[in-house]
A and B are shown apart, each in its own frame.
Chain A
Amino acid sequence: MDYNTLIVLMGLLSTGSLLGGFGALVSLKGENLTADVAGHGVVSGVVVSKGLLAVLGAAWLAVPLLWVCGFASSALTLGFIFWARSRGYSAGAAQAMAIGLAYGLTLVLMSLVQGYGAFSTKGLTTLLLGDAATLSLGRILPAISMLLGAGLVFGVFWRGLMNWVLDPQSTQLQGQSSALALMWIVATVAVVLTCLPALGLTLLVGGLTLPALAVRPWVRGFPALVIGSAAVGGVFATLAGWLSAGIVPLPTGALVIVTLGAVWLLSMILARGVSAVRMRRAA
């Protein structure tokens, strides 16, 4: 296995595990589509960062600018959702307006930034669809660091996290609701920004959702669901990346998601079969 393939597979392993584990929490909260919208909010920030980079001309600012602008735009998009909900719009209507706003802003900003020749639609297509083949050590380090950090946080605070995810009213009573909501926004945006290069925005929500659904019928308890989702996400993303690298030359991000979809389908069928056998034996 050559160096580039190894880096791509390491990137997919860390990205898949991070998305799988975090996705279990997102799915339990039922906020998958809100996370998707937050992800779309990142794109306009990315476009602004490219524009600023073209104006400032300082290459070393690329990563800090990307993170600052991505965070800001995504947080504003999430803020718009919460504002719309507080005005009386339903969750769906608020999400739909926020995603329309994010897309519209992205396209308009992109037209303006393109005036400087700093960004092309190809660049945005890569953001939306991902480009795992071009992963480098520098681009996968955030995902690896984030995975290690998230693992540590989960190991120490899993009980508190479980209470907050499964019983949000208890944290409201303790007066920690706003602080945790802020941390949730920051974590969502950080995970989205970290995982963008490998899977792309459009497919990222699949990485967040599918591993947890595949694991759900087979585990009992909160830690098992989160760890199992992380394992399934990491293993099958790596497997799909390995297939894409040599055996079936297809777009990696799409292959990862379709593989995870197949795993979910298989898991659902097996769970039904096992349940039917148990019922028959019990009868």
Chain B
Amino acid sequence: MLLSQDLPIILTLLSAAVTAILAGSLLLPRGQIMISEAASHAVLPGLIIGFALSGDHGWQVLLGAIVTIALFVGGVSWLRTRHRLGPGVEIAALFPVFFGLGILALSLTGLEKTGTIDVDHILFGSLELLFWFDAGTWSDLLRPATWASAPGPMMTALVGLALSLSLCVIAYPFLNRSLMDAHHAGLITPVAAAVARALETLIVALAAAACLRSAGVVVAIALFSGPVIAAWSLARTLWQVWLIAIGVALLAVVLTYGVSLATAAVLDVEPRISGVLALWLVVLAVFAPVLARLTGRNRPLP
């Protein structure tokens, strides 16, 4: 039970959370965290078209997600610099159009009727449906055949995490300076800025796709923002932000499991895991700055 049912849920949720933390840490210091909320909706047409072309949840779906998010983030940046519509107006204008296109694509391809892509799962996640039947004992995890039959959303989340982590580690010195030192951002060359923008787009796309396939669109914003907001007041470097945020996400997952089990035992009702997780992440984001002040840290809030 633990390995076949709980392990895939925990692994998927944690991988999606860490991928979202990496992306959130790039967006929050620039005051663009709401892009993550918008991007997790805007990614829909890319996923649908990728699935319609390939017929499975493979790399084409991920590629579709990356292309769509690149278009979305590029469009937001272009509108922000060229048109100056107002704070957040460009995000509010673009993401419903992308999401609407996704809904139209879902209808045009007829995928919703086949049940292969369910809007409910896209919106609210499908963590409760993850089962890893071949993982019966710990030794099974060492067999390649067990991993071959691993649930698709879990593998997407793990691959997304590996890619995001690799990109962030490679670009760490640049990211750390440009994000943690506001003056440095004004000194970087246009080429470096373009590379940073491409990197950010790729990492946001990976995180949006991972969240969409696991916890669902609606709680993606909590995964992107909660742990990073909590970590911000306690950390001084980007590494510390990541480590503390991962710790916060781990704590939130443990608390989520505890509350879910307790509620099921007391009320005989199982609350939706993604919902409980979102609430814990917000609670931790609110209380972390209080803890920071108590321990004498005075970093400004994000």
**Contacts A93-B33, A97-B226 given: A112-B269 contact, CB under 8 Å?**
yes
Name A's interface SS. Answer: helix
CB distance from B138 to the nearest CB of A (A): 31
Question: A154 on the interface (CB 8 Å rule)?
Answer: no
In the complex the two chains form, is B123's CB within 8 Å of A203's CB?
A: no
- B-binding segment of A137-145, A185-193, A251-259: A251-259
Let me know if A238 is at the binding interface, CB within 8 A: no
Chain A positions within 8 Å of B270 at CB level = 111
Which residues of B have CB within 8 Å of A253? 100, 103
In contact, B225 and A32 (Cβ under 8 angstroms) = no
**B99 CB-CB contact with A under 8 Å:** yes
Chain B residue with minimal CB distance to A115? B269
Query: Are B221 and A32 interface neighbours, CB within 8 A?
Result: no
Residues B249-302 near A (CB distance < 8 A): 267-272, 274-279, 281-282, 285-286, 289, 300-302
- The answer to whether A210 and B275 touch across the interface, beta carbons within 8 angstroms, is no
Q: Mark B207-228, 1 if CB is under 8 A from A, else 0.
A: 0000000000011011011100
On chain A, which size bracket covers the interface?
35 or more
B contact residues, total (Cβ < 8 Å) = 58
Which stretch of A6-14, A67-75, A83-91, A166-174 is in the interface?
A83-91
**Contact A203 B96, CB 8 Å, known A88-B301, A96-B225, A258-B104:** yes
- Minimum C-beta distance from B105 to chain A (A): 9
Contact of A32 among B89, B229, B279 (CB under 8 A): B89
Q: At the interface, is chain B mostly helix, strand, loop or mixed?
A: helix
Whether A210 lies near B100 (C-beta < 8 A) is no
A253 to B: closest C-beta gap in Å:
7
| A128: interface (CB < 8 Å) | yes
Give Cα A208–Cα B88 distance, bound, in whole angstroms: 13
98-128 of chain A: CB within 8 A of chain B: 99-101, 103-108, 110-112, 114-115, 121-122, 124-125, 128
Q: Please name the 7 residue pairs, one residue from A and one from B, whose CB atoms are nearest each other, closest first.
A: A107-B275, A206-B96, A104-B278, A100-B222, A32-B92, A261-B97, A96-B225
Q: Which residues of A approach B to under 8 Å, CB–CB? A: 27-28, 30, 32-33, 36, 84, 87-93, 95-97, 99-101, 103-108, 110-112, 114-115, 121-122, 124-125, 128-129, 202-210, 213, 250-251, 253-258, 260-261, 264
B: which residues have CB within 8 A of A?
Answer: 28, 31-34, 36-37, 41, 85-89, 91-93, 95-97, 99-101, 103-104, 107-108, 119-120, 123-124, 218-219, 221-222, 224-226, 229, 267-272, 274-279, 281-282, 285-286, 289, 300-302
User: What 14 additional pairs, Cβ within 8 angstroms, besides A108-B275, A258-B104?
Assistant: A93-B301, A96-B221, A100-B225, A107-B278, A203-B100, A208-B92, A209-B96, A213-B85, A251-B104, A254-B104, A255-B100, A257-B96, A257-B97, A257-B99
